[in-house]
Structure 1
Amino acid sequence: MIRRAPPSVASDQGFTLLELLLALSIAALAAAVVVPRVSGVRDTALVETAARKLAAAAMATRAASVRASEDRVLVIDLAARRYWSDGVLGVTRLPPGLSIAVPRGGTFDHRALLRFRPDGSATEAEIRIRKGRRSSTISIDWLTGSARVS
């Protein structure tokens, strides 16, 4: 009977250092591309959520005005990045890193006062919430008092 030599052990030795470095380089490159995109999505979600909450606060102030048959005011403190409506909702602060501006609508002493009237009308205003290049705009219609986020 002829004896065969045992199979070569060379194929079972694992990966070379060069193969490991190449695999790690590809993983690092993929992470460098994906992480900024995920960060941008997070910023967009943060800005949109803050804008929707502010629009909901405006609509709650409008509803309280109609229900009570008296003017109600939504106060936006631009310097402190917070807003409230007396008798309707407490102070709400914007998340860190967000900025707020009111390019259209009355501002006085770093505050915007959005007045809602019992007939449903309101102070016309445009409010911008921004983080970096991401921004969202809340438009308050003067006739209907509705708030639209775009």
Structure 2
Amino acid sequence: MFREHGRYVVRLLRRLGVADADIDDVFQEVFVIVHRKLPELDANVVLRAWVYGICLRRAANYRKRNRARKEIPTEEAIEHVEVDPKSPAEAIDARKARAILEDILRGLPDEKREVFVLYEIEELPMQEVADAVGCPLHTAYSRLYAARKLIHEGIRRARAQMGNR
């Protein structure tokens, strides 16, 4: 279980706003819960969706505990998106873009970020997203729409700031 889902859990926790300094602790919380509840798991439940739900709840608990704390993203936090740059300048631009996206994602309300990450980044079907976050399907679509709008606004602001430099 750990080998099969470990890397995914780390990536998901980062995208859900868990700081690099705390990834190991929250990761351990997730797998303690997985280990404890696995024997009770219904055979009809999709294992990966079940793990997503645990990650979502642990990340939400983490964010509640750490509202005031801010962390600057490290290289490791933004390296999870692979890019094949043609030049060093493109590599730098790609890193900056990933850092901007991470900042924008951190600024989203939790329920919108969760839906956006699961649907757009992790590419889950919307019904699985709705099940994982515990909301009706139409609510998940509504949250996705709102998240996209906020992300577009964040990108527009970032571009405006870059133009002012």
Q: Structure 2-normalised TM-score? A: 0.23
* Structure number, greater radius of gyration: 1
More strand as a share of residues = 1
Higher relative contact order (CA 8 A, sep 6+): 2
User: What's the TM-score once normalised by structure 1's chain length?
Assistant: 0.25
